[in-house]
Structure 1
Amino acid sequence: MLRSFSYVTDHTGFCGTVKNSPSDFIVTEIEVPEHLFRDTHDESLQKTSAVPLEQSSPYLQQPKKLRREPPGLCAEGCGGGGGVPRPSERDPGQAGGNSSASPNKKHHEGEPELKSGLEEASILDSLLGKPISELLDKFACDLKDAWDLENNADAASREFSLGPILDKKNRADLHSAVRQKFPFLVTITKDNAMIVKGNADYRELCQLVTEKETSDFFKFLDAKLENSTFSFEPDGNKDHRKVVHHFINRKFGKLLETKSFTVTGINDQPSMSIMVRFREKSWSRKRSAGGFQEKQDLYTAFTLQKENLETLEAIGFLAAELGVLPSDFSYTGIKDKKAITYQPMVVKKVTPERLKEIGSKIERKGMRIHNIHSACQHLRLGQLKGNHFDIIVRDLKHHSHDSSADLRERIYEAMENVETKGFVNYYGPQRFGQGQNVQTDQIGLALLNEQMVKAVKLFFTPEDTDDPVNNAKRYFLQTEDAKGALVMLPEFKVREKMLLRALNRYGVNHEGCTKGWLNIPHAMRIFYVHAYCSKIWNEAASYRLKIYGSKVVEGDLVFSEENDKSISLNGKVHIVTAPEESAKKYSINQVVLPMVGHSIKYPSNKVGQWYHERLSKDELQMCKFRVSPLQLNIPGCYRPILKNVQNLSYFLEGSEKGIEIEDNHLSESKVSLHVSFDLDPSCYATVCLREIMKCDF
């Protein structure tokens, strides 16, 4: 994958073999902070967010975006209820409310009450100032008036800007205050400016229930008070209740659940009401003699040692042995296959004792488990500090074009050069599947183009070997008999089995293949798309270095290490100007290139033009980098062109006992190079070695 790609250093290099055996390539993940593993009930430790796989280092991660809308809201148009009775058409007396029979909100001791409208108005005045606050009031009133006009087409597109709000806490307070005072509005942050517009879901619910109920429901939704419930007014119309249930489940089903229960209505007659509550996630409640007690999810942390296994393959083995899903495992990065690797993992729903029981069984698969202990939460991709590598390069010799007799000098020169200048930060060959007939980026491209059947067939393309896994793949491609292929596959091939089960049920067509991909955990689905994005980044980096070299030129993107968390990722990426180029204001180490996605900007020089032409070549010129049928969202990020190696050390050792290494010259193939170093997250040791040795692996 890297053959013919550019280098940043100009030394001659040398030849040698890497990964003669797994013990020649040892990778140890640099541990994440210990507090992430503490068995604690500290609520702050349980709040995590997903981090895209392609993030190159913690300071370049896309910051967690502020909530743009109440969770689950869709920007769909308003409907009239499809012939279902409106509130005024319900049974007599039920358009009002019986607060004693069904209180709208139930609070528990110690939980904050919702703020009153006057309190919210006061907060808005203090955050925005009186003039802007009054303009917001006018916008809200005008929008409500426009909604009352059935033919007012522009109401849905109306927006009002509150201006830039740079302080993160003020933005969060403002989001909450606006929605509490005006539940029919939603707030959106665009480049630090806050935009207010109408909430289409609020308007749609108003077609089904009273406006007071709608307003109270959205205030309840925005407050997200643990254990709180919300009850709609009693409703004797079963068909109407059914439509309200469907509306809430369609819009907020991932966040809320509903049920109907009997209440006392008008004239003490029994009626039915809909109650809403938040779904339980990482915690659940069970009643005991002392009241409610919190039951934490069970997490067990451990260090996985594996040899000659892919990370996902190892997880498949462990999941099958423990009787859990692969998605119950969390880890911070993918490790090399042909190596001995050590990495922290966390598994959910498994006790430390149960994990210890399988130790002897998994050793036969090339795995060992160390440092087993209880944990409080899962790990996240990208949540690592880096990796330490201990590598042996054997069969050292000169390049064929090198006439020098001094191999030792070549090695010293290469080490010093890379330690000083760094290396091109390419994604390594293992990201794309070394030696495979079909590489992961090809599957990712098919998924981005929503060619679901093609992606499945690429996924099941066999290697040129005669073993149970490839025989099963070969059989499936020849017959499309998913059930038969399932029987042939070994149990540990979890991804393949998940896909085949869905294909057996739904068929090998577009719909069936889509459902098949959805059957695979999200982290595995998006892995293929990230592989394609990585391939494009590699090509872009090589092109950038070929045409501009190490000089920083107008139109390049440079990254500012600004610590202000309120500044968006794009806000930290600056386009180099002509005067800045002339003044040599930036160094090549500050230049970044985008990983393609929907939320990044491109260089404004020839490199930006190259990106657009390259995506057009793969028919992605109109790609939104969102694959909705597979729930894949690819915002993109930025990756430095160059990276530095840390803590580099090395020594030469005779390959046979008794061989002495002379000071002046080394005999080819008689010695091996032992090298160790640390790299930042998402950097590849094979890429660093490529720069040192000037040869591809």
Structure 2
Amino acid sequence: MSTLHNLEDAEPAPPAKRLKSETSSDLSPANPNGHVEKFVRSEESAGITEFLCPGALGFQGLLKQRYTDFLVNEIDKDGNVLKLKSLSFEKKKNDARPPAETKVQSDTPVADSTGVARSSNGLAKAAEAASESRTEETQELEAEGAGARDDVAPALEAKPFEPEDADRALLVSWLGSEITCSLVKLYNDILAIEREIKPNYKIVTPETKLVSQNPIDDKDARSLLHRAIRRIFSGKIQSTTTDDYNIELWATRISGPKSERDWSRREQRQPMESWDALGGDYLHFNLYKENKDTMECLGLLGRFLKLPPASFSFAGTKDRRAVTVQRVSVHRLKAEKLAAINPKLKGLKVGDFEYKPYSLDLGDLKGNEFKITLRDCIFPEGADINQTVEQAVSELREKGFINYYGMQRFGTFAVSNHEIGISMLRGDWKKAIHQIMAYDERSLETAPPEERKRAQACKMWFGDPTNWRMASEVSRRMPRKFLAETAILKWFSRYNESENYLTALQKIPRNLRMIYVHAYQSYVWNTVASERLKRFGATIMPGDLVVMSSEEVAASQPVLELDEEIPGAEPDEDKFVRARPVTEEEVASGQYTIYDVVIPSPGWDVIYPENGLRDLYVEVMGRDGLNPFSMIRNHKDISMAGHYRRLLYKPEKVEWEIKRYEGFLDQLVETDLMYVQRQRERGKGKLLTRDEGLVQEAVANPTGSRIAVIIEMRLGTSQYATMALRELTKGGILTHLPQNQPGTAADATAEPAEPVEPAEPAAET
């Protein structure tokens, strides 16, 4: 394959810095100008200090020198790794009209105005009607083939749907075990009739109506329940709240075939194909992006399609400085229209279209597959390269890594996100605003262009922060990608509002505003996890916490509270998980291992370990003027419920490869877009053009003087690949540091190693 388009990476090779550095930053009201003298974020400042296998041999490598060195493919809830395979949409050539031999008799009962059929045996009658409507010829043909089908029938039987343990526990806690079982049976009945008669047949909707026994008084809790039911049962079960605050549930009305007369009319007027016939109201597609934020890409798609970015739904955000593939859904948009804009898109593509009856929700993923290239690797003197990497990978497979929150969780600006979170939790709104607007001297001179503009705008605002005219002028200078700063400045641009710091904070988009308090939770979690391993090592101890089973949860009858789920937050952990301490007997029996241990992040809806770590929370948070047992606030946004996170994590798979190369800009791995181009070069479609963001072909140079280690692994949601690499290399990761001299090519093209704004709290979710 010929070279198509060179990546815009800096030349010559940029310098690097260690992730593990010295010093940190501080901003206090005593320093009102917002200038921070020195800013180098360190792992220690984020509570990251330990290794699971500290005595193993490590090596050094450069991470994210090019954004194509970090490939991320989302794994859906069924365990499928999403790959970009096609950019076009090929309509299925199926005759939507049902064959005569399978039509449903015209006297089949239909649902009443409420969407509920009058017959309690609706499902059975629908199947019986379809069976009776078959012609004699069809029955004879089936009889002839019956013997052949007997051998395969058992293999084709659909497995009954069973909700995941966490989902079942969630439903039981709200609705009780009896209603939950009836709900699962109803869903399986719906699936059975759809398999038998197909989705587009007008059949009897099941009459079954279920009503919860206990009222749920809290409106927000009811909203969470309605969303969970839609997600778990793929939109096939409807729910509503009665006047008594109980939850009523029934089957979504099932549409179906028309009479012969209706089909004749349809053929004559040739109407638009219905969404049901396509497969559902929601178009699902793979979003492939290079060196872009998820929201930036959706905003661009929205501008082309004249849709607001909120029209799109996705399971989780992805890294900016990377090449990523993730699933996105949009309501009632034709695939042909979306595919048509592909030639106009540079650095992102859409493809692999499919219609579904439901949208994607945040958290609808199992994890991510990473393919990471570590460049310019250096090994200990005299060490065998292959043996060193093999041993490190084997230990990562067998023992896993400490499940720390990664450094990108804490942001890349002058003040750490978790420090802003402390100010918010203490109710010091002015200090929180000043911390968000803070800048460091280095950014004024050496940062990438937009970060430099941000620093200059912040410096200008701090010159007269109470002047609304100044705020208005600075607002025009602030790059729009910095959403928090822009929101603050727009509020302060209002006359006589310069001292209303709380409202200014509330003008920041909620999902972004919550990043700061979540970052503080992450800092406490990291600190406690490090101390836990220092005290007890990688051995389970009495008093450690483990996740309760669904039966234990149901038996404990947990009470749902308002903020157990934080709308707009990234899908960290299961928000409805319950935990309990293990006993000495359970530890002695080997029933649980260290891989079952969870550590709580602080909040009002968690319990704390009972082996000395409880006092550690008091000590760590006490230094920040906070109390782990008093986490409820008057402001809902910062009233943290808390959650649990596993102490250690084992990747599902880890594979490795050593590759030699010569040029520091050599492309070493194939992206999904390169794969699509290869397929097209083989005659499977029109070749893509140079201006569509293509990179050059991956190269192999066995005699090259440089060494790269390529790691491929699968991680769950909210597991950080950088923390797995940290364990693999024993802290030898160097991160790309852009070389930005004004007027050079690097100034216009280089990107920072991590996201440049705190809008992606979990860049590896």
TM-score where L is the length of structure 2:
0.53
Question: What residue in structure 2 maps to residue 603 of structure 1?
Answer: 609
Q: Does 1:424 pair with 2:402? A: yes
Task: Could you tell me which runs of 5 or more consecutive residues in structure 2 were left unpaired when the two chains were aligned.
Answer: 1-41, 83-114, 116-163, 176-204, 222-240, 250-274, 559-574, 663-698, 734-765
CA distance in 1: counterparts of 2:171 and 2:461, whole angstroms: 42
Taking a change above 3 Å as real, the CA distance of residues 32 and 557 of structure 1, as seen in their structure-2 partners, is closer
Rounded Cα–Cα distance in structure 2 between residues aligned with 1:486 and 1:326: 22
Q: Paired residue for 2:527, among 524, 527, 539?
A: 539
Q: 1:408 aligns with which of 386, 394, 408?
A: 386
Say yes or no: does 1:398 pair with 2:376: no
Q: Is the 8 A contact 1:514 1:630 kept in 2?
A: no
How far residue 497 of structure 1 moved from its aligned partner, in angstroms, is 3.4
Report the CA distance shift for 1:24/1:61 in structure 2 as closer, same or farther (over 3 A). Answer: farther
User: Pick from 173, 182, 185: which aligns with 2:212?
Assistant: 173
Matches of 1:367 and 1:175 in 2, distance apart? Answer: 49
User: Is contact 1:570–1:600 with CA below 8 Å preserved after alignment?
Assistant: no
1:303 equivalent in structure 2: 286
The yes-or-no answer on 1:13 pairing with 2:36 is: no
Measure, in 2, the Cα distance between the counterparts of 1:573 and 1:652: 42
Name the counterpart of 2:147.
none
1:344 is matched with which residue: 327, 339, 342? 327
Deviation per CA, 1:395-430: give whole Å up to 9, x if none. Answer: 12224xxx5432221111101111111111111112
CA contact (8 A) 2:282 2:357 kept: yes
Pairing 1:440–2:440 present: no
Paired residues of 2:595 and 2:647 also in contact (CA < 8 A): yes
1:140-151 → structure 2 map (5 Å cutoff): none
The one-letter code sitting in structure 1 at the alignment partner of 2:462 is L
Give the structure 1 partner of residue 626 of structure 2.
Answer: 620
Distance 1:462 1:373, change over 3 A: farther
Per the alignment, in what secondary structure is the counterpart of residue 285 of structure 2?
A: strand
SS at match of 2:635: helix
Superposition pairs of residues 32-47 of structure 1, within 5 angstroms: 32=77
Residues 96-127 of structure 1: CA distance to partner in whole angstroms, max 9, x if unpaired?
xxxxxxxxxxxxxx99999xxxxxxxxxxxxx
How far apart in 2 are the matches of 1:61 and 1:522? 29
State the 1:610 CA deviation.
0.8
Work out whether residues 392 and 673 of structure 1, in 8 Å CA contact, stay in contact via their aligned partners in 2: yes
Could you tell me which residue of structure 2 aligns to residue 549 of structure 1?
A: 537
Shift of 1:470: 3.5
Distance 2:168 2:436 in 1: 29
Q: CA distance change for structure 1 residues 352 and 530 in 2, over 3 Å: closer, same or farther?
A: farther
Number of the residue aligned with 2:654: 648
Instruction: Give the AA of the match of 1:550.
Output: A
Q: Any conservation in 2 of the 1:594–1:638 contact (CA below 8 Å)?
A: yes
> What's the CA shift for 1:33?
5.0
Alignment partner of 1:2 out of 39, 43, 46: 43
CA contact (8 A) 1:60 1:637 kept: no
User: Distance between the aligned counterparts of 2:169 and 2:641, measured in 1?
Assistant: 9
Going from structure 1 to structure 2, the CA distance change for 1:65 and 1:525 (only over 3 Å counts) comes to farther
- Give 1:17 deviation, angstroms: 1.2
Looking at structure 2, the residues matched to 450 and 427 of structure 1 have their Cα atoms a distance apart, in angstroms, of: 25
Q: How far 1:317 moved relative to its partner?
A: 5.1
CA distance in 2, matches of 1:30, 1:406: 34
Tell me the distance in 2 between the aligned counterparts of 1:221 and 1:506. 47
Residue 577, structure 1, aligned to residue 577, structure 2:
no
Aligned to 2:464: 479
| Partner of residue 431 from structure 2, selected from 449, 454, 469 | 454
In the alignment, what sits opposite 1:49?
A: none
The secondary structure found in structure 2 opposite 1:544 is helix
Q: SS at the partner of 2:362?
A: coil
Aligned equivalents of 1:187, 1:323: Cα separation in 2: 34
Whole-angstrom CA distance in 2 between matches of 1:352 and 1:409: 49
Helix, strand or coil: the match of 1:530?
Answer: helix
Q: Write the distance in 1 (CA, Å) between the matches of 2:167 and 2:421.
A: 23
What residue in structure 1 maps to residue 720 of structure 2? 684
Question: How far is the alpha carbon of 1:459 from its aligned partner?
Answer: 2.1
The CA deviation string for residues 34-91 of structure 1, in whole angstroms up to 9 with x for no partner, is 99x9xxxxx9xxxxxxxxxxxxx995999479679xxxxxxxxxxxxxxxxxxxxxxx
In 2, distance between residues paired with 1:528 and 1:618? 15
Whole-angstrom distance in 2 between the partners of 1:376 and 1:508: 46
Counterparts in 2 of 1:65 and 1:584: CA distance versus 1, 3 Å: closer
- Cα displacement string for residues 177-204 of structure 1 (whole angstroms, at most 9, x for unaligned residues): xx9xxxxx99999xxxxxxxxxxxxxxx
Number of equivalent positions: 470
Note the C-alpha offset of 1:606.
2.1
Report deviation, 1:19. Answer: 1.1
Pairwise CA distance, 1:220: 2.9
CA RMSD of aligned residues (A): 4.4
- The answer to whether the Cα contact below 8 Å between 1:393 and 1:673 also exists between their aligned partners in 2 is yes
Judged with a 3 Å threshold, the aligned counterparts in structure 2 of structure 1 residues 340 and 477 are, in CA distance, closer, same or farther, namely: farther
How does 1:208-223 map onto structure 2 within 5 Å?
220=243, 222=245
Q: What amino acid is aligned across from residue 16 of structure 1 in structure 2?
A: G
- The percentage of counterpart residues that share the same residue type is 27
TM-score for the superposition, normalised by structure 1: 0.58
- 1:622/1:555 Cα in 2 relative to 1: closer, same or farther (>3 Å)? closer
> Within the alignment, does 1:23 sit opposite 2:68 as a pair?
yes
Residues 539 and 593 of structure 2 are in contact (CA less than 8 Å); yes or no, is this contact kept in structure 1? Answer: yes
One of 463, 467, 478 as aligned partner of 1:489? 478
Residue 516 of structure 2: aligned partner: 528
TM-superposed CA distance for 1:524, in Å, is 2.3
Deviations, residues 142-183 of structure 1 (Å, cap 9, x unaligned): xxxxxxxxxxxxxxxxxxxxxxxxxxx9xx73314xx9xxxx
- Identify the structure with bigger relative contact order (alpha carbons < 8 Å, sequence gap 6+): 2
Higher fraction of strand? 1
Looking at structure 1, the residues matched to 636 and 67 of structure 2 have their Cα atoms a distance apart, in angstroms, of 36
Which deviates more from structure 2 when the two are superposed, residues 624-633 or residues 586-595?
A: 624-633
Structure with bigger gyration radius: 1
Match of 1:673 among 709, 714, 736: 709
Say which SS state the counterpart of residue 674 (structure 1) adopts. strand
- Cα distance change on mapping 1:111 and 1:677 into 2, 3 Å: closer
Q: Does the residue aligned with 1:646 lie in a helix, a strand or coil? A: coil
Q: Equivalences for 1:279-358 in 2 at 5 Å?
A: 300-315=283-298, 326-347=309-330, 355=338
Matched position secondary structure for 1:13 = coil
**Aligned partner of 1:617: which letter?**
R
**Partner Cα separation in structure 2 for residue 524 and residue 61 of structure 1:** 31
Distance 1:500 1:22 in 2: 32
What SS does structure 1 have at the residue aligned with 2:463? helix
Give the equivalent residue in structure 2 for 1:504: 493
